[in-house]
Amino acid sequence: MATEPLLRVEHLCQYFGPLHAVDDVSFSIAPGEVFGLVGESGCGKTTTGRSIIRLYDITDGSIWFKGQRIAAGTLGYRRRIAEARRRMRGASAEERAALSAQIAEERRQLRAAVHDHRSVRKDVITRIQMIYQDPIASLDPRMTVYDIIAEGLRIRGQHDKQAIDSRVYGILDRVGLTREHAHRYPHEFSGGQRQRIGVARAVVMDPEMIIADEPVSALDVSIQAQVINLLSDLRREMGLTVLFIAHDLSVVKYFSDRIGVMYFGRLVELAPADELFLHPLHPYTRALLSAIPLPDPLYERDRRRIVYEPRPEAEDAALREITGGHFVRCGAAEVPGYLREAEA
Amino acid sequence: MNQPVLEAKDLRISFRTPAGLVRAVRDVSFSLYPGETLAIVGESGSGKSVTCKAAMGILPGNAVIEGGEILVDGKDLLHLPERDFCRLRGRKIAMVFQDPLSSLNPIMRVGKQLTEVMRLSGVPAAEAKKRAISLLSEVGISEPERRYRQYPFELSGGMRQRIVIAIALAADPEILICDEPTTALDVTIQAQILELLSRLKKERSLSMIFITHDLGVVANIADRIAVMYAGKLVEEGTAQEVFYTPAHPYTWALLSSMPDLDTRDRLDAIPGTPPNMVAPPQGDAFADRNPYALAIDFEAQPPAFPITETHWAATWLLDPRAPRQEMPRALQERIARMKARREAQAHGN
């Protein structure tokens, strides 16, 4: 990519005890791009989004936003230091010197990671805003719509009543609600309207990036399209960069420029949206795409579903580029095979 | 066609609420024929679940049945005493619910929940266990003996839904009502459950009512489709008729509002929200959101205009006096595109 990415996720690991929810996930998102993340429930796509806005302290890896490290994990450094210490025992003098130099270096980086992670300024993080899946659970039932939307502005230090008023009313109008709605409570609204409130709360902060976690899957069909249209209008007008997390592949395909497919905490394939649907390479992606039901009875009658049988991963499995911009998680030995398939 | 196994006639159901009487189902009539799958499509609040709960006799306490009948074997289910209904439920007609986690008892082993129905109908315990285990393997559950002793929380979402299906089938029903059985599941699991239901339907010659709002799922499973909006059926036809020659503007809107894999243009979202059913509109309930609405749509309910022997729609657009209205372009294009895709695939094979 020619331009500097807005967001760069490097080897992100998020472990919850023995559960490796996200394991070594790397990707970057260019300014103005919509990056879709798909996968089954439990594959770690939501955790990835939540780790990026620091709802969790990440276990390992780094997250860079606008060239600044906004989150860093330490597990890798600590492991390498412990490993080097073990090797110190019974090593020759020269090796010991090399190892202690290595330990010092790892320690320095660890300190830098901890420093970066702790000292991130709030005003950088709030440039990323999140839209949640459940429009009921994500709005405080005891706050008025006005307070829900204004909360972020107030926390940011905005106390001028008039300025807040004009921002809130402006945003309400922008997302298709009216001024009169401002002093009502969330339960007075329909699902689609509640999701609009969630969108308003995110965009009122004037973010550069939005993480939309299944923003339409809790909504009715006729309302889903309204919210999708609203998001794509806002994206265009505000020049937003979006991380779009969803399990509905048709919606993700429609909305995204590039798509990453996750399976069991790992990113198994990453490609431009059209390319991914045209030439899915990883067997899991193929199975996933073949399961999408399409609105056509005759097509459905003859549909052949591919069943995914997980195979053990190659020892050196990593995300490798097969053709331009199309990555698959595989071992080095598997690359030629994928390349043949991609060109077939 | 032969005799229907289930027939709903002029069904009218309302709910008492603090805000007034909510008219959930308004004059709904349909027939379910032996061995077919009838899909009822509609949004939440359209009355599709209420209709099916009425057929199962499990309406909540604040429901008022204002009229109509649901006939099974010549008996009207709406006026059946609970004692007699008990004999029908499970044996004649059974239901699979949307959320497998909340429809299973969390503190009862899978086996006990499976054999409950059989034990109630007097099957000896050993025989019931044998049948339950064979049912588990029939719905595609591996290691059925082990699963028999497990609790629902130990199973995955897809497996739980298989258990729910097995329980529904435990007393060998003829009619299976599925209320959004795949909505809570992932795409791959959804595909597996749909395949399972199709297979079971064939093997056990079930007649199925399938409630959903997902048009992809409908295309996969339905023989016939009834589209429901604001408590009324607005269009009914075979799957191919409803998908390839839809006639009601609401069906058009429903079909064109969701993106498929080739959609690039702005989506044709349906403006507004469904009407408040405490005071349903006088005319066509969809008129307010319908860009093709005629003046008469706001004044009078459209009758059902027949299109073919199996296809009808309730819209004034089909009245001979109305101006001719083509379906939206985006929808025409999709139908053509899908046709091309099918042909390309037929060529490829």
Give tens-digit pLDDT for A9-58: 999 999 999 999 999 999 999 999 999 999 988 889 999 999 999 999 99
pTM: 0.87
Residue B107: left if φ>0, alpha if ψ -120 to 50, beta else—which one? alpha
Whether A291 sits inside 8 A of B338 (CB atoms) is: no
**Dihedral sign, Cα of residue A122, residue A125, residue A126, residue A131:** negative
Whether B213 sits inside 8 A of A223 (CB atoms) is: no
User: Chain B contact for A224, CB < 8 A?
Assistant: yes
What is the model's pLDDT at position A133?
Answer: 86
The helix or strand, by DSSP H or E, that contains position B32, with its residue range, turns out to be strand B20-32
**Contacting B residues, span 281-320, partner chain A, CB-CB under 8 Å:** none
Distance from CA of A122 to the nearest CA of B (A): 36
Give which of B257, B268, B289, B335 to mutate to test A binding, by max A Cβ within 10 Å: B257
User: Chain B contact for A250, CB < 8 A?
Assistant: yes
Whether A222 sits inside 8 A of B261 (CB atoms) is: no
Lowest mean pLDDT among A163-167, A194-198, A327-331, B100-104: B100-104
What is the model's pLDDT at position A335?
Answer: 92
**Residue with more model confidence, B261 or B111:** B111
Residues of chain A neighbouring B220 (CB-CB closer than 8 A): 293, 297, 300, 303
User: Chain B contact for A298, CB < 8 A?
Assistant: yes
User: Chain A contact for B172, CB < 8 A?
Assistant: no
Residue B7 contacts residue B32 (beta carbons within 8 Å): yes
Whether A228 sits inside 8 A of B259 (CB atoms) is: yes
- Cα–Cα distance for residue pair B230/B249, rounded to 1 Å: 14
**Contacting A residues, span 89-128, partner chain B, CB-CB under 8 Å:** none
A255 → chain B, closest CA residue: B264
Question: pLDDT exceeding 90 applies to what percent of chain A?
Answer: 69
Per-residue pLDDT tens digits for B126-170: 999 999 999 999 999 989 999 999 999 999 888 999 999 999 999
Whether B216 sits inside 8 A of A297 (CB atoms) is: no
Instruction: Provide the residue ranges of all domains of chain A, joining segments of one domain with +.
Output: 75-118
A251 → chain B, closest CA residue: B259
Per-residue pLDDT tens digits for B51-96: 999 999 999 999 999 999 999 988 999 999 989 898 888 889 999 9
Residue B37, pLDDT above cutoff 90 = yes
Whether A250 sits inside 8 A of B213 (CB atoms) is: no
Mean residue pLDDT of chain A comes to: 91
Which band of pLDDT confidence, cut at 50, 70 and 90, is reported for residue A314? confident
Whether B186 sits inside 8 A of A41 (CB atoms) is: yes
Whether B261 sits inside 8 A of A302 (CB atoms) is: no
User: Chain B contact for A169, CB < 8 A?
Assistant: no
Distance from CA of A104 to the nearest CA of B (A): 46
| Three-state DSSP string of A310-324 | CCCCCCCCEEEEEEC
User: Chain B contact for A278, CB < 8 A?
Assistant: no
What is the model's pLDDT at position B186?
Answer: 83
Please name the residues in contact with B42: beta carbons below 8 A apart, sequence gap of 6 or more: B48, B213, B227, B228, B229
What is the model's pLDDT at position A2?
Answer: 55
Of A193, A222, A295, the CB nearest to B260: A295
- Cα–Cα distance for residue pair B166/A73, rounded to 1 Å: 46
**CB burial readout B136-160, b (16+ within 10 A) else e:** bebbbbeebeebbeeebeebebbbb
Question: pLDDT exceeding 70 applies to what percent of chain B?
Answer: 99
Residue A302, pLDDT above cutoff 70 = yes
Of B189, B240, B261, the CB nearest to A297: B240
How many Cβ contacts (< 8 angstroms) between chains A and B? 127
What is the model's pLDDT at position B135?
Answer: 93
Whether A305 sits inside 8 A of B216 (CB atoms) is: no
Whether A249 sits inside 8 A of B216 (CB atoms) is: no
Whether A292 sits inside 8 A of B187 (CB atoms) is: yes
What is the model's pLDDT at position A165?
Answer: 94
User: Chain B contact for A185, CB < 8 A?
Assistant: no
- Residue A9: CB atoms within 10 A of its CB come to 26
Whether A296 sits inside 8 A of B243 (CB atoms) is: yes
**Tokens at residue A229, please?**
């249209």
- Cα–Cα distance for residue pair A92/A268, rounded to 1 Å: 42
Distance from CA of A295 to the nearest CA of B (A): 4
What is the model's pLDDT at position A1?
Answer: 47
- Residue B205: CB atoms within 10 A of its CB come to 10
A190 → chain B, closest CA residue: B273
User: Chain A contact for B347, CB < 8 A?
Assistant: no
Residue B221, pLDDT above cutoff 60 = yes
Give which of B273, B342, B349 to mutate to test A binding, by max A Cβ within 10 Å: B273
Question: What residue type is assigned to position A148 of the chain?
Answer: I
Residues of chain A neighbouring B346 (CB-CB closer than 8 A): 302
Of B191, B273, B334, the CB nearest to A192: B273
What is the model's pLDDT at position B348?
Answer: 64
User: Chain A contact for B344, CB < 8 A?
Assistant: no
Residue B257, pLDDT above cutoff 90 = no
Residues of chain A neighbouring B222 (CB-CB closer than 8 A): 297
Per-residue pLDDT tens digits for B224-237: 999 999 999 999 99
Alpha-carbon separation of residue A221 from A36, A251, B7, B120, B232 (angstroms): 20, 12, 28, 41, 18
Whether A226 sits inside 8 A of B270 (CB atoms) is: yes
Of B43, B243, B260, the CB nearest to A221: B43
Kindly state the average pLDDT of the residues A286-291: 92
Per-residue pLDDT tens digits for A95-126: 899 999 999 999 999 999 999 999 888 888 88
Question: Which of A116, A135, A107 shows the shortest CA–CA distance to A64?
Answer: A116
Distance from CA of A38 to the nearest CA of B (A): 11
Q: ipTM value, please give it.
A: 0.83
Residue A326, pLDDT above cutoff 50 = yes
Any idea what the Cα angle at residue A292 is, between residues A291 and A293, rounded to 5°? 110
What is the model's pLDDT at position A92?
Answer: 87
Q: What are the backbone dihedrals phi and psi of residue A266, each rounded to the nearest 5 degrees, phi first?
A: -120, 150
User: Chain A contact for B156, CB < 8 A?
Assistant: no
Mean residue pLDDT of chain B comes to: 91
**Contacting A residues, span 186-215, partner chain B, CB-CB under 8 Å:** 190, 192-193
User: Chain A contact for B218, CB < 8 A?
Assistant: yes
Per-residue pLDDT tens digits for B174-218: 999 999 888 878 888 899 999 999 999 999 999 999 999 888 899
